[in-house]
Amino acid sequence: MTHRPELEAALEAILFVTSEPVSEERLLGSFEESEREEARFALAALRERYRPAEGRGVLLEEVAGGLRIVTAPEQHPYLRRFFDAAGGNKLSMAALETLAIIAYRQPVTAPEIQELRGRSPAGVLKGLLERRLIRIAGRKEVVGRPFLYGTTREFLMHFGLRGLAELPPLEEFEETFGGGDEPVAASPPSVADQRSAEQEAARDEEARSLAEALDTAEAEGASDERDAVRGGVERP
């Protein structure tokens, strides 16, 4: 079935100006009911036109349950240099470490994050909440009923993930952060001290690995650059 070029152009314009992924249902809902079948074919044609190809600077990506026009991965080094020169807005190492713990352990409380990182996450959590990368997912039913934190749809968008299943595999995460069942007090003090130091070193190393994994995803996602490609439209 053929479609009118103006329908494909309309879909392209919608995806260009929006700052968030748009579901296919919402895209097609922009047209009259009598036009939707043609619009469906127009969207298929748009997918084909924006499929990854050598020599293209942008492509159509499916992420977080929707579609959006993004920059091609091979252009990211140039875009990073451009935005670095303009003073980028990257996450700090502390924010990446905290975000990694939340991503893999959610829902998780601030005291649990502090136990894993060894320092208070209060300021970092505030910044991540302001950037809408995490959300308050309720309260834990323990003494004090602390807030539980989880990631958001914006988190998936920021790192270019369709879902949490696409997080970098970290098979040793639970082993490192979960803690052993054997009480430390059962060992001689010198052995306990050594074990504690080894666990702390392993914990720090794993936190760095988690942060590096998300840092890599952030760089490859080039979320700030994508907003520029869409005409400088900022997220609401």
Indicate whether 65 and 101 sit together in one domain.
no
Indicate whether 33 and 123 sit together in one domain.
no
Does 80 map to a domain?
A: no
Residue 147: give the domain boundaries.
Answer: 93-198+208-223
Does 177 map to a domain?
A: yes
Please report, as a single letter, which amino acid is at residue 218. E
Tokens of 105: 């352990």
Does 37 map to a domain?
A: yes
Residue 27: predicted pLDDT: 92
Does 229 map to a domain?
A: no
The CATH code of the domain that includes 15 is 1.10.10.10
Does 131 map to a domain?
A: yes
Which has more confidence, 13 or 204? Answer: 13
Please report, as a single letter, which amino acid is at residue 66. G
Indicate whether 213 and 126 sit together in one domain.
yes
3-state helix/strand/coil string of 121-166: CHHHHHHHHHCCCEEEEEECCCCCCCEEEEECHHHHHHCCCCCHHH
Query: In this structure, what are the phi and psi dihedrals at residue 231, rounded to the nearest 5 degrees?
Result: 95, 20
Does 84 map to a domain?
A: no
Does 127 map to a domain?
A: yes
Residue 199: predicted pLDDT: 46
CA angle (155, 167, 53) in 5-degree steps: 85
Residue 120: predicted pLDDT: 87
Which has more confidence, 22 or 208? Answer: 22
Range list of β-strands (E), the chain: 58-63, 66-71, 108-109, 134-139, 147-151
Provide the number of structural domains found in the chain.
2
Contact between 120 and 94 (Cβ < 8 Å)? no
Please state the pTM of the whole predicted model.
0.47
Q: Range with the lowest mean pLDDT among 38-42, 78-82, 115-119, 146-150?
A: 78-82
Q: Range with the lowest mean pLDDT among 144-158, 159-173, 216-230?
A: 216-230
Indicate whether 175 and 138 sit together in one domain.
yes
Does 217 map to a domain?
A: yes
